[in-house]
Structure 1
Amino acid sequence: MAGNSQRKGAIKKTGKGNPTAGSGGRVRRGLAGKGPTPKAKDREYHQAHKTAKRAAKSAEMKQKRRPKPGEAEWIAGRNSVVEALRAKMPITAVYVAEGAERDGRLREAFGLASEQGVSLMEVPRIEMDRMTGGAVHQGLAARVPAYEYSHPDDLLDVAAERGEPALIVALDSVTDPRNLGAIVRSASGFGAHGVLIPERRAAGMTPSAWKTSAGAAARVPVAQAVNLVRQLKEYQNAGCMVIGLAADGEVSLPDLDLADGPLVIVVGSEGNGLGRLVSETCDQLVSVPMSSDLESLNAGVAASIALYAVSQKRAGGA
C-alpha cells in the first residue's frame, strides 16, 4: 500500500514517534548557532595554538632553570664555561659528559680548571641534562655558588675603612645583567665603594654579570635593598647626597659640586630611566651633556661617565 512501504528509506506516514522527514525536527538543533568562532590560539588544531603552547613550555623550562635565592647556578655550553674560567669566576666544579667530543675549547677548559684548582668531574649525559635543567650544554657545564650580597650599610663601612668619602652607585630597576656587570667593573675602576641594587625586578649577580665585570665582582661589594627609596633615605640620613642621572636633570654633570662629599649616584633602568619616587627622593637630578640628539645612554655607559667625572673632581683634575 502506498505510504506503508517497508523498503529501506521509505517515509513513515504517522505522527507518532519521530517527526516526519521534511518537518525540520531532526535538523533544528543542527541549524542552531554555535556561538562565536574561537580565537586561533584557542583552537588546538591551529598553528597559532601550537606556537603559543611551545612558547609556554619554553617559559616554563626557563622558570625551572632559574635558581632560587641562595641556590648554586649553572653555566652551560663550551664557550660559556671557557669564558667563565678565563674571568676567574668562583667556579666550584666543572662537569663533562661521558663520551663528549674533545675539541680545543674542551681542552682549554680542562687546562684552566687544572690551573685554578677547580674540580673536574665526568658524569653521564642524562645526569648533566638533569643538573642543567635541559639547557644546551654541549657536554660541558660549570657550577657556580650563589653570590653573597652585602648589607647596604657595609658599603658605608668600606668607605670608612679607607678613610674616604663614600661613593656608591645605586641602580633603579636595571634588568640587564650585562649592564650590572659593566657598572660593577666601572665602580672598581673609578674607586666606588659598592653597588646597590633592589631585591626585586632587577638584575642580580648572575654568571653573565660576573663575566661582564671581568673579575671586578670579586673586589667590589654588591648589596641588595628590600626598598630602594627607603635605603636612599637612610643614606641621606647618614650624610650622603643622592643624585640621579636624568636626561632632563637641572644640573649638568660638569657643573656638579657635590663630588667631594659622600655621594650616591642613582642610575635608572635601560628604557624608563628613574622611577617617580626615586626621582623625588634624589637631592639633585644631573644630566650628562651630549652633542647629538640621542635621548639617553645605556645604563652602564651613563654610570661609567658619571663615575669618571666624580673621580676627576675628587682628584682635582677638573
Structure 2
Amino acid sequence: MARLRPKPNSTPDDIAFGVNPVAMALETGHAKALLYYREATNERVLALVERARAAGLRVEAVEARRLDELTGDGVHQGVLARVRPVEPIDLKATARAAGARSLVLLLDRVTDPQNVGAILRTAVAVGVDAVVLPLRRGALITPGVHRASAGLSFVAPVAAPQNLAQAVRVLKEANYWVVAADAGEGSQAATVFDWPGRTALVVGSEGEGVGQLLLRESDFRVALPMDPRVESLNVAVATGALAYLWRRQHPFPEQVPGG
C-alpha cells in the first residue's frame, strides 16, 4: 500500500526545514534524509545537499510544491530534512552534575512553537543546564520549534518529565532555589533580585502566567519592572531578559577573573 502524503498545510513531526535548522540537523547527526528544490540556486542549500551526500544520506530533488506540502507552506528556503527525534536529557542526573552556578528553565503551559523555539535559542546562548518541557502540557520539539530556534533545538538540553511539579521536586532535592516569574503580590524586581547560584526559573504563558501550584512551590517571585502602559511582555522576551539577569550575576567562568 502506498504511503499517503500529508494533506496540504499539515506538517509531519519528523522534519526540519530552512537552511539553519537543516544545517544543525546535519551537524548533530539527527538528519536521516534531505529533500531540496530541484532548481535551487542558493549556494547554502547546494552546500547542504553536498554535505548530506557526503554523509551517505538519501538526497531527493523535488518540486517546490512538495516542500510546500510537507512544511504546511512554511518558509522552507528550498530545503528540508527528515530527522530523528531529539532525545530528552535526564533531569535528575543533570541537576546532580551541575556546578554551583546553574540555571534551569521550566516552561509552564508555553505552547506556541515560536515562543518555545525562541526560548531554546536563548537557553543555548545563556548556557542553561536544562529546559524543562512537560510531556502533558506545553509544546515538545516540533518542526516549528526547530525553525524558530534556528536549529538550536537539536542541541538545547531539553528535559521532558511527566509534569513540572515532579521536575520541581527533583530540582529542590538537588539544592536549586525555585524562582517564579510573576508580577503578583510579593514579587521582587528582577533587576535588583539576588539571584541564587542554582536557580530553577519558572515561566508561564503570556495569558495565564505561572500556575498556582507552581507559585506555591516557588521560593521567590520576580517581575521585570516596566512602563505601566505595557501590561506584559511576550514570554520568550521575558525569559531572555530574566535569564540574562541571572547570567549577569553569575558570569561564564571565562568572564570571571581567575575563573
TM range (shorter): 0.7 to 0.9
**Does 1:156 pair with 2:95?**
yes
Mapped to 1, the partners of 2:248 and 2:18 lie a distance apart of: 37
* Partner AA of 1:155 in structure 2: T
Aligned to 1:274, which of 188, 196, 210?
A: 210
SS of match in other structure, 1:272: coil
* Partner AA of 2:59 in structure 1: M
Please say which structure displays the higher CA radius of gyration. Answer: 1
Mapped to 1, the partners of 2:71 and 2:128 lie a distance apart of: 39
Q: Is there any run of 5+ residues in structure 1 with no aligned partner, and where? A: 1-59, 68-72
Query: CA 1:140 to 1:264, structure 2 compared with 1: closer, same or farther past 3 Å?
Result: closer
Identity across matched positions, percent: 28
SS of match in other structure, 1:225: coil
Query: CA 1:176 to 1:154, structure 2 compared with 1: closer, same or farther past 3 Å?
Result: farther
Deviations 1:169-209 (A, max 9, x none): 10001101221222122222223111111102311122322
Query: CA 1:198 to 1:65, structure 2 compared with 1: closer, same or farther past 3 Å?
Result: same
SS of match in other structure, 2:88: coil
Quote the residue 1:177 is aligned against: 113
Mapped to 1, the partners of 2:223 and 2:145 lie a distance apart of: 26
SS of match in other structure, 1:198: coil
Quote the residue 1:256 is aligned against: 193
Deviations 1:102-155 (A, max 9, x none): 1324x6423222135452433888xx79xx779559996420111111122133
* Partner AA of 1:156 in structure 2: A
Whether the aligned pair in 2 keeps the contact of 1:113 and 1:120 (CA below 8 Å) is no
Deviation of the 1:285 alpha carbon: 1.3
Mapped to 1, the partners of 2:71 and 2:117 lie a distance apart of: 26
Mapped to 2, the partners of 1:102 and 1:309 lie a distance apart of: 47
Quote the residue 1:191 is aligned against: 127
Deviation of the 1:61 alpha carbon: 5.0
Query: CA 1:92 to 1:66, structure 2 compared with 1: closer, same or farther past 3 Å?
Result: closer
Mapped to 1, the partners of 2:40 and 2:132 lie a distance apart of: 41
Query: CA 1:241 to 1:63, structure 2 compared with 1: closer, same or farther past 3 Å?
Result: farther
Deviations 1:243-280 (A, max 9, x none): 110122521112322x2432100010132111121122
Mapped to 2, the partners of 1:218 and 1:136 lie a distance apart of: 22
Q: How many residues in Structure 1 have an aligned counterpart in Structure 2?
A: 237
Q: Is there any run of 5+ residues in structure 2 with no aligned partner, and where? A: 1-5
Q: TM-score by structure 2 length? A: 0.77
Mapped to 1, the partners of 2:79 and 2:238 lie a distance apart of: 36
Mapped to 2, the partners of 1:247 and 1:305 lie a distance apart of: 15
* Partner AA of 1:145 in structure 2: R
